[in-house]
Amino acid sequence: MTDIRKQLLAAFEAEHREHLQAIRTALDHMGGGEIDLTDVFRRAHSLKGAARAVDLPSVEEVAHQLEALFSHVLDGQQSLDEPTVATVRQSLDLIEDLVANVLKPEPTQAVSTPAPNPASLASEPRAPTTDAADAGSGSYLRVSAEQMEELSDSMHQLLAELQADAGIDDALRQIELEIRGLRRSWDHLHAQVNALASPTQQSRGGPSFLPRLRDFDQGLKALFRRVSALSRDRRQSSWSVEQAARQVRDNIDRVSLVSAETVFGGFGHMVREIARKAGRDVNVRSIGLDVQVDRQVLQALKDPVMHLLRNAVSHGAEPPDERRAKGKPERAEVTLELASRGGRLAISIRDDGRGPDLRRIERVAVDRGLLQRRDLGHPPPMIDQLLSLVFTPGFSTADEVDRLSGRGIGLSVVAEAVRKLQGSVLLRPRYPHGTEVLLNVPLTAARQPLLLLEAEERMFGLPSHAVERLLRLPANALESVEGRPTARIEIGGQDVVVPVVTLAALTGSPNAPLPSEAGHVKAVLVRHGSRSCALAVNAFHDVRTMLVSDVQAIGLTELVSGTTFLDNELPALVLSPDKLVEHWIRNESRLAAGGLGIAHRAPEEERRARSILVVDDSITTRTLEKSILEAQGYEVLLSVDGIDALHVLRSGEAMVDLVIADVEMPRMDGFSLLQAIKNDPRLSTLPVILMTSRADPEDVRRGLDLGASAYITKQKFDQRELLATIGQVL
């Protein structure tokens, strides 16, 4: 395959996924009456032209059929009813499958090469592990993944050494302060000595030691100046070295990150093939595959995510007759969604199937001795208590082992893989149908922000992402439930009774008392799913980004996700927050069954995702903003100009919480759109953010005077600024 052909196919792979995803998303929003048929038609047309450019006639033909279908719908000659939508979805799947077959990796073949010229080898030495290639527009260096990992580890170790080196700076600063104090004492003493050695005293024959005092005074001043200068230089040098090291670390991390598409991109095709061979009709959606993640993290999650997708099909997808009887579409849906949130990777695998079989889970748990058999009339365990059991090694509710259900090993393999990455996993039912598994892991495998804690003279690290709040609870305000300490804590606007658990009691000292100091208990509020616990500790120390190694600890394997080394070279155990909560749930099953620590969540329909209307005539800008916002959980609607946006808003077919609009657009610009919104009594309270390249102060003032909630210029566009502004407005 020629280089130009490879480049065209690589570009087409990204483009065709964008068009397919956009059309699928439009079809998904049909239920709310919101579908941009013009955009859908344009995308089918663009897909046809792109397929022709890369010489894929089979894809071009299917795209042409889609284009003709959407054209008839736009002209009113055909309606977009359920059979038509089903045909469109099948065509989209067919295009994805055709492209996947074309882009399959070619089998490695032995290549015959002429014997090298000894003279050329002598004059042109070759590196054994790297390979440079000219790609026309620039040069590329291919380096083995192992070398990149070693380089990254070395860089992180260097930063750890620099952090430890900060102790020298503190010591030098202390010496400077001590010399400063010595200098002040000497100045006071010098005045007294001068008084004693006055000319009157010398005339009486007293000893004269003024010359030696002057020499000592000058020497002390010189020493003080040198130490002060050295301290300043040391601080400046340390700061510069640390900044340079951090810059190198960030550059290395950027090289180590790859698109999730590289590992998860083919999952949709694979799962559909498996489902078809099992006689099931499943639509598989993939969202957020453009997120950048450490290659090691993606590889570690490859099998677990595939296992969860198989489970979603095998346990979730009912036969068409059963789905019709429940009022569902005949075609089951499975969604894989990835998003980057706060330096961590959030993965959701969800379906619209049967949902967790709580009775069967309880039966299997009782049979395996994980739960006590309930007496007749006794209430069942809490949902989170039951669902946490499915990650127990060997736990499986499958009646038989088949290609879909895997080998009957259950979800423990998923939990173990996530634990090794210092992450968390959660299974929960969806409303009104289905199941969702949430994985939360770091974007990079090596470094973790940790909260350092002390309990019973032992140091522990707790991933900072799991820390909801640091608490200082009055000891006399603690309450007791069945003899266990609890505290009333405001969580999400609710007054929740949370268990207060001594961390040392969970980590090897079962009889450890509740630590208190000056009449208060220090505790860390952690949360797993809807359950919260307050972990009582002796002291909080620091929050640091540290290297975490996957080292097992005897007796604490379940609770410990890794180890890290402190400044004194002593190891500290890194704890798994979700395992700590699950450990408490198992040990205190009666309290857990009573709902202690649970903040009751609102029904899913009441927790509707915020909807944002993006108005911009540039498809590139619309696509960029849409991907950024959807990765943060927002629902995104698109309009190409102000008139189109007003039609969406005034139709009432979609609930919009915020408008983000460009200023320079055809037909109706952003200022006119803003003015029309604020003059419409039904829309006047709707917040609007103007985001444009027009940075003139007069334009900014005009936008704000017209009622814009914020004005962001594209010259300094930063997605963090956009998201922060949206957070403040909403």
**What CATH number did the domain enclosing 644 receive?**
3.40.50.2300
Clarify whether residues 490 and 597 are in a common domain. yes
Beta strands in 598-699 (DSSP E): 611-615, 635-639, 658-661, 688-692
Q: Which of 416, 442, 468 is the last residue of a domain?
A: 442
Eight-state DSSP code of residue 55: T
Q: Which amino acid is at 340?
A: S
Q: Which of 601, 628, 654 is the last residue of a domain?
A: 601
Specify if 266 maps to a domain. yes
Specify if 96 maps to a domain. yes
**What CATH number did the domain enclosing 347 receive?**
3.30.565.10
Clarify whether residues 403 and 544 are in a common domain. no
The pLDDT of residue 525 is 92
If one counts the domains in the chain, the total is: 5
For strands 435-442 and 658-661, give the pairing: unpaired
- Closest Cα partner for 450 from 546, 540, 524, 541? 546
Clarify whether residues 278 and 180 are in a common domain. no
**Residue 532 near residue 498, CB atoms below 8 Å:** yes
Clarify whether residues 295 and 329 are in a common domain. yes
Clarify whether residues 629 and 594 are in a common domain. no
Task: Determine the structural domain holding residue 169 and report its residue range.
Answer: 147-199+208-258
The pLDDT of residue 347 is 93
Q: Which of 601, 629, 644 is the last residue of a domain?
A: 601
CA atoms within 13 A on the CB side of 634: 24
Q: What is the mean pLDDT of each run of 10 residues along the chain (730 residues)?
A: 60 81 84 76 81 81 89 85 87 88 58 38 36 41 63 69 65 76 75 65 54 74 79 75 71 73 85 81 86 85 90 82 83 88 83 86 85 77 81 70 45 83 85 87 77 88 84 90 88 84 84 87 87 90 76 62 75 84 82 77 53 82 78 84 87 82 85 90 87 79 86 67 77
The verdict on pTM exceeding 0.95 is no
Clarify whether residues 492 and 348 are in a common domain. no
Clarify whether residues 285 and 340 are in a common domain. yes
Eight-state DSSP code of residue 314: I
Separation between Cα atoms, residue 186 and residue 196, nearest integer Å = 15
Specify if 122 maps to a domain. no
The pLDDT of residue 336 is 92
CB 302: neighbour CB atoms within 10 A? 14
The pLDDT of residue 140 is 52
- Phi-psi map region of 369: left, alpha, beta (phi>0 left; psi -120 to 50 alpha): left
Specify if 302 maps to a domain. yes
CB neighbour list of residue 240: distance below 8 Å, 6 or more residues apart: none
Clarify whether residues 656 and 595 are in a common domain. no
The pLDDT of residue 146 is 66
For strands 571-575 and 560-565, give the pairing: antiparallel
Specify if 370 maps to a domain. yes
Clarify whether residues 430 and 456 are in a common domain. no
Specify if 580 maps to a domain. yes
The pLDDT of residue 184 is 77
**What CATH number did the domain enclosing 458 receive?**
2.40.50.180
CB neighbour list of residue 301: distance below 8 Å, 6 or more residues apart: 263, 347, 417, 418, 421, 439, 441
Specify if 111 maps to a domain. no
Separation between Cα atoms, residue 530 and residue 709, nearest integer Å = 34
User: What distance lies between CA 331 and its chain's CA centroid?
Assistant: 30
Clarify whether residues 534 and 632 are in a common domain. no
- Closest Cα partner for 613 from 558, 538, 546, 683? 683
Specify if 115 maps to a domain. no
Burial call 5-29: b when 16+ CB within 10 Å, e when fewer = eeeebeebbebbbbbbbbbbbbbeb
Clarify whether residues 549 and 507 are in a common domain. yes
Clarify whether residues 272 and 412 are in a common domain. yes
- Dihedral angle sign, alpha carbons of residues 620, 625, 626, 630: positive
What is the greatest pairwise CA distance in the chain? 125
